[in-house]
A and B are shown apart, each in its own frame.
Chain A
């Protein structure tokens, strides 16, 4: 009798569990079939009334049924929980293609980036960075650089004068003169001088009354023009690509003798001729030369002991060439749509 009842209970319980579709129904099933007042407990309680022969069989069966139901509930619970989790996850689904919450950093000015790149290269080559005043004495800006008053080359750089003797520096070369002077005739002096310079030009697409310059100077025993060529080759390859070649053309600057212009092979066409290099295959990048003995002498260096080279370049020109920028005024208009294009420069 009890056996049949147990089997029936088992059947009932299993079908209840199987049809449960939420955890609550499972809990109810647990209480209903396995609870303290549930039928199986009742049966086990009533075991005493059974005969000795019946007792082990029924007891065993009752325990089996109980365990089976418990196991099935557990199984079903895991099942339901997994399903519920799936549902929850489904409901949490995002459009992962929507933009994230970015921090938008500001951009480094392109000219600052170019200057930094040049600085880092030359620091690696043993050059220190020297800076100096932007309002200069005529002496450091011109005279100490072999440009005495009435030198015709002063026409080349019409200047903003503050008084007859004080002006906005027209190049960063006065920093060279000042640094040489500080070294009191003892080399080596190995510096680069970046900074703002000023000339009396009307601002247009290719002229700016204020612009940047980076000059370099190396004075030591036995510095040669071939060394200048070597250093400038390293510079050209670093800034414009490893397969760049350079050439030096004679030129004139009052503070160097000999003076040269450095061209690099065109990075756009590789030297075959294009509109960047105006068909020549070469692009003029900077002016350089061997420091004029008068410059050394005036700053306290003995030209029979020391020689040196100097070079000067325009970060604007480098930037304009590298990125095809058509108007120098962009650098000083500071349109954010311009600036942020060079965020990674």
Chain B
């Protein structure tokens, strides 16, 4: 909503309040002034000139030589505008003037003729061409009335104005018109409000003899009023009205359309004018449109309606889509003589739906959508009639023909007045509270501790006691309220065990050199299902209207996005990177619209283990680098003993370098190398990834810590190297050794893997270091030997393992 500072002064005395002051005060009272513009900013030396004579330029067909009276002198100006003529009063940029775009006007010679300045178009004075009236669109501006020659032209073009652009939210719809803003400003400044009641001269002829109004559904159309105006002379509206419309961002058309737009801006009441002679009947029937009923709107479009739309009809056919757009057949034209003026109230939700579906959001529909003052509808019709009488020579037929309720009662709010202090934490007196409400033009009665506030319909956003708390708070000013700290129950708060563990996971990942990233949950439909820890039967979750194909479906794994992040870095010469992400994955559930959400941890590493240093190049990361990361994680979370790894074939992963991660036998993640084909497709080097369901890892009970005293007796260490088939999994040997070593085997560590000339081609040697210990005594060699032999035998039995010589 663009508010003209000059126009506002019609209603509230702004003496001593600069536009900046006003903008700040309005913003601080809750309606943000987004911009403050001075349309005449930078203009200088523009005066009213009178074209005394206008002759053809001897050398140029399209140029005119004008002798222009500037009050103090008469100068020659060469003008190329087609509409320049002798006798006109025009804005002249004199020599030395500045026009729009900070262009300086100099004395010039045009085809041999001296030009002392420039006669200006509105565009040259900074007006937005979209709002320039048609009659001035291709030429200079011409004053249509008495303006003093030689005077500064800016005030006559409203270029001494300031425009406040208000950001209208749902609760400030009452400020979508000048009167509403005036009420607000009157309350903020605590200054009186001057509103003139429209005065309509009516003829003796009753309008009701010429028109009837019927409403089919009073719920959707609470009120419909019509006035008839005859003998209209369609022409441009007066300069002041045009300039106010332009300031508000509305293009002037003619006096009829302009008057109805002007009243909408002033009163907030959308009006519509029909050419009565084209109306087709003497009857207005407002009803729901039929399914697929058609109407041609005044933009020339044929539109198909549904029975959700409200239609203004002449009893037979549609003449306007209610509150949204008029019909072409009844449009006011230059030839119009008689006008049917509509002032109505339509259901906001219905208008919103229709406007959205037809993609016809207009100044009118947006006001209906956000709500209008129910009690202003009749006076808005009167105001339009008044303007059309004055500026379009109209005769107003007697009476408003209408149906529905003309007014609605005030909203009564009863509350203990102290509630305002209780909610705000303030200490306002009763007088301060009622005084503030009266500034807002609400009437207040008090009765002991109780306050009865009567809120007029123009403030339809104020309906409950809390709304009054806000009204008092914002007008009184929140800066007057002292900060306190809550006095209520003291609450203890701490991270949940899950939140605590998740923070530890983050620290651990960063400790191992991985940097945290956040990627998008929405990704492409193609990549969305790949790399999921568990393949999903149900179709991926998709959004109905994606903004782009890039963000169309919900990820089931973070790996595809992490691959993109690595790709990004490779493209920028950063080949050694390591990242992790903790975030939700969304697993579709058959038969349910909502996916199951799991929090996962995923990581990706590629390149060297570290950047090259002066000591030389580090090794490349490999499968065991990435596996070491997850193992470190499991150790830190104390779950390693429940974790096992199984060779796995997964789509997009290297078939020989991928392991599923199991916790107590259930797959909770995987770790491995990307498939070389994926690496090639994405221009990646060797890249390793993991993803683990964090929920499954943390939530299912973290293992507690059981303290064990320090050993008091020495331990015995024995190393063995076992030769087994290459296909034998180290973890299987590990399991068998532990099982057979219990309880004396205290710890076990694999320290060498050998494949080569000293063993057979299909064999490998695994060397383990075994530590035997008993907490209660020193073990004898015999005791250790017995267990050790048992282990070797078990390995021989299960895997055909032989001791390496």
Contact = CB atoms under 8 A, between A and B. Distances in A.
Interface in A197-238: 198, 200-202, 209-210, 218, 220-227, 229-231, 233-234
B514 interface: yes
A290 interface: yes
Q: Considering the complex of A and B, which 7 residue pairs feature the smallest CB-CB distances, nearest first? A: A226-B425, A250-B30, A224-B425, A258-B470, A250-B474, A106-B515, A220-B488
A190 B27 contact: no
Contacts of A221: 488
Given A126-B492, A334-B565, A161 B545 contact: yes
B754 interface: no
A307 interface: yes
A332 interface: yes
Centre residue among A226, A233, A250, A259 by max chain B CB count within 10 A: A250
A127 interface: yes
A275 B546 CA distance: 36
A104 B470 contact: no
Contact of B172 (A105, A127, A252, A258): A252
Interface residues of B, number: 92
Given A123-B494, A128-B496, A229-B482, 8 more contacts: A104-B513, A112-B518, A122-B493, A134-B586, A202-B547, A247-B478, A250-B29, A293-B466
A19 interface: no
B485 A153 contact: no
A260 interface: yes
A290 B503 CA distance: 32
A118 interface: no
B175 to A, nearest CB: 12
B369 interface: yes
B488 A188 contact: yes
B493 A226 contact: no
B751 interface: no
Nearest to A280: B24
Contacts of A119: 495
A215 to B, nearest CB: 16
A135 B594 contact: yes
Interface in B486-500: 486-496, 499
B595 interface: yes
Given A224-B484, A225-B425, A292 B27 contact: no
B564 to A, nearest CB: 9
Contacts of B545: 160-161, 200
A122 B491 CA distance: 11
B613 interface: yes
A106 B486 contact: no
B474 A339 contact: no
Centre residue among B29, B423, B474, B554 by max chain A CB count within 10 A: B423
A225 B481 contact: yes
A150 B520 contact: no
B568 interface: yes
A324 interface: no
B369 A152 contact: yes
Nearest to A306: B488
A283 interface: no
Interface string B520-539: 11100000000000000000
B24 to A, nearest CB: 9
A59 interface: no
Given A109-B516, A160-B543, A293-B466, A222 B491 contact: no
Contact of A133 (B541, B583, B594, B614): B594
Interface residues of A, number: 85
Contact of A226 (B483, B492, B554, B568): B483
A248 interface: yes
Interface string B500-519: 00010010011111111111
B730 interface: no
Interface stretch (B1-9, B66-74, B117-125, B571-579): B571-579
Given A224-B424, A226-B484, A257-B466, A105 B511 contact: yes
A182 interface: no
Contacts of A340: 515
Centre residue among A152, A227, A293 by max chain B CB count within 10 A: A152
Given A108-B510, A227-B484, A230-B485, A128 B493 contact: yes
A334 B169 contact: no
B170 A252 contact: yes
A85 interface: no
Interface in A79-108: 98-99, 101, 103-108
Contacts of B710: none
A143 to B, nearest CB: 15
B493 A127 contact: yes
A165 interface: yes
Contacts of A220: 486, 488-489
A150 B584 contact: no
B28 interface: yes
Centre residue among A107, A187, A196, A209 by max chain B CB count within 10 A: A209
B144 interface: no
A111 B515 CA distance: 13
B423 A307 contact: yes
11 contacts: A105-B510, A119-B495, A125-B493, A127-B491, A161-B544, A168-B521, A200-B545, A230-B483, A247-B479, A257-B464, A340-B515
Contacts of A339: 515-517
Interface in B560-611: 565, 568-569, 572, 574, 577-580, 583-584, 586, 593-595, 597, 610-611
B20 to A, nearest CB: 11
A333 B568 contact: yes
A152 B370 contact: yes
A226 B521 contact: no
A279 B494 CA distance: 40
Contacts of B369: 152
A258 B579 contact: no
B464 A334 contact: no
Contacts of A70: none
Interface string A150-171: 1111001000111101101000
Interface in B420-462: 422-426
B330 to A, nearest CB: 29
Given A123-B493, A162-B593, A227 B425 contact: yes
B469 interface: yes
Nearest to A167: B543
A224 B424 CA distance: 5
Given A188-B488, A224-B424, A227-B486, A108 B597 contact: no
